[in-house]
Amino acid sequence: MYVIVETGSKQYRISKNDVFEVEKLDKASGKDVKLDKVLLYADGKDVEIGKPYLKNIKVNCEVLGDFRGKKSISFKKKRRKGYQKKIGHRQTYTKLKVKDISVA
């Protein structure tokens, strides 16, 4: 059994007891969060597809904590003009563990 959920404008394929990273959520470590934007639910033989979301399926997750990702560097330069600019960015992520997928 697996579901495809949407959070932070990205989609994730998850099943029970999976650990995955999403863009930062404002939840403390150890708290529970419900993901209700379920796009697809597959249970071995049956597949349900939402239009756009399935209303009767919720995913309960536990927040394991926040961490920062790898630094990405952007470098801009214009030749013969003396212009160059270096910008770095580190995205903050939240690590989630799927506790339960509830079907109502």
Q: How many helices (H) and strands (E) does the chain have?
A: 0, 10
State the Cα–Cα distance between residues 65 and 34, nearest whole angstrom.
16
Question: Would you say residue 104 has pLDDT above 90?
Answer: no
Domain residues for 51? 2-103
Structure tokens at 63: 């927040």
pLDDT in tens, 39-97: 999 998 999 999 999 999 999 999 999 999 999 999 999 999 999 999 999 999 999 99
The separation between the first and the last C-alpha atoms of the chain, rounded to the nearest angstrom, is 15
Number of domains in the chain: 1
Over residues 18-38, the mean pLDDT reads 96
pLDDT of 24 strictly over 90: yes
